[in-house]
Amino acid sequence: MDLQSILLSGINGRRPLIIAGPCSAETEEQVIITARGLASKGIKIFRAGIWKPRTKPGGFEGVGMEGLIWLNRVKKETGMYVTTEVANHNHVVEAVEHDIDILWIGARTSANPFAVQEIANALKLVGFEGPVLIKNPVNPDLELWIGAIERIYNAGVRKIGVIHRGFSSYDKKLYRNLPQWHIPIELKRRIPNLPLIVDPSHIGGKRELIASLSQQAMDLNCDGLIIEAHCNPDEAWSDKDQQITPDVLSYILNLLVIRDTKQTTESLTELRQQIDEIDAELLSVLAKRMRISKEIGQYKKEHNMPVLQTSRYDEILIKRSIQAEEMGMELGFLKKILEAIHEESVRQQIEIVNQ
């Protein structure tokens, strides 16, 4: 099976590619009922977790190899492709022996180069050519994500895609896992032809957020969605809060606005030229600011003053925040910029002081 060809056809002959199914395969009846419901909505790829190691022991950790037999039945009865997560050598061997079409590597596994290499070795051993989908590591480390991709590629797998499921954070707030869209965007910039699938179920952690996150993914020109769907979500054995019924999934997909990626951008030329000019001005101003920071560093060195003076930074932050608010700017955005500028200013001053 060619993942690229599926991406091109998507659902109902158009983007996005949809992968759907329960977080966990719980019983044969639950798997078959959910698969039939999804197949009736035109879903082509069925997902279900077979091995489900949890954060803490004692909970439901998957049905194991028996669930692979259920997935095989889904293939035969519905004609859907099936996919599940693998985390070690034995998982790969068992999944391939049971004719699983697509394998995915989870976020905890992709964060561990030893585990990814074990999977890569197993893929090479059994001759599985893909597709393999690689979730981002739990921590926001783009190089670690790329490293996992390279390990699977070096095993001879050429049908590779990635799943963006967000990044873990102590500061939960709205999302279960922070989207940090700039990271998958940068991944696509570096590897343009890499299929990027978004997991709104794990990013949001709540079924109420799936629709808005799915639309964000489409607005960012992502290739597909992997969404957790269950025949009875409220009774799910794992992650019940982020699962939806096949009917709700169909409703969400029908409301998605898919932007036209083939339109010409000639009408944006003038506005983009203005952006280029403003960016050049910004760089010039930032360079000037850093030169002044170096002069301040030289003064502090000559007068034996400490580099870091928090009261001054607090003063800058307060004043600039007031100015930004008056200009209609988002304060969180401004704070990130000021923090980056301050960090670089301090670095340059430390460099001067230690010369």
Q: How many percent of the chain have pLDDT more than 90?
A: 62
> How far apart, in whole angstroms, are the C-alpha atoms of residue 29 and residue 231?
10
The span from the CA of 104 to the CA of 199, in Å, is 12
Report which of 246, 195, 199, 216 is spatially closest to residue 85, judged by C-alpha positions: 199
Q: What is the DSSP letter of 222?
A: -
Task: Give yes or no for residue 139 having a pLDDT over 70.
Answer: yes
pLDDT tens by residue, 120-136: 999 999 999 889 999 99
Instruction: Tell me the mean pLDDT in the region 289-296.
Output: 90
- How far lies 39's CA from each of 50, 193, 221, 228, 250, in Å? 20, 28, 25, 14, 11
- The residue written with tokens 């606005």 in the block is 257
31-40, 87-96, 184-193, range with the lowest pLDDT: 184-193
Q: 215 is written with which tokens? A: 């639309």
* pLDDT at residue number 135: 98
Sorted by where each starts, the structural domains of the chain and their CATH numbers stand as 3-255 (3.20.20.70), 266-353 (1.20.59.10)
Contact between residue 99 and residue 72 where contact means Cβ atoms under 8 Å apart: yes
Quickly list DSSP for 218-279.
Answer: HHTT--EEEEEB-SSGGG-SS-GGG-B-HHHHHHHHHH-----TTS--GGGHHHHHHHHHHH
Tokens of 109: 């596994």
Give the DSSP H/E element, type plus range, for residue 340: helix 331-353
8: pLDDT strictly greater than 80: no
Task: Decide: 316 and 289 in contact? Cβ < 8 Å.
Answer: no
Closest CA to 105 of 131, 71, 81: 131
Lowest mean pLDDT among 118-127, 184-193, 270-279, 295-304: 270-279
Asked if residues 227 and 243 have their Cβ atoms less than 8 Å apart, the reply is: no
Q: What value does the mean pLDDT take over residues 154-175?
A: 88
Q: How far apart are CA 66 and CA 247, in angstroms?
A: 27
> pLDDT (tens digit, 9 = 90+) per residue, 241-254?
999 999 999 999 99
Percent of the chain whose pLDDT exceeds 70: 94
Report CA 50 to chain centroid distance, whole Å.
21
pLDDT of residue 335: 85
For residue range 94-117, list pLDDT tens digits in order: 999 999 999 999 999 999 999 999
At 10 the pLDDT is 45
What pLDDT, on the 0 to 100 scale, is given for residue 333? 86
Cα–Cα distance measured from residue 286 to residue 293, given in angstroms and rounded to the nearest whole number: 10
| pTM assigned to the model | 0.80
Q: Give 293's contacts (C-beta < 8 A, 6+ positions apart).
A: 344, 345, 348, 349
Instruction: Tell me: pLDDT of 185 over 50.
Output: yes
- DSSP code for 235: G
Q: Which of these ranges, 9-13, 87-91, 331-335, has the smallest mean pLDDT?
A: 9-13
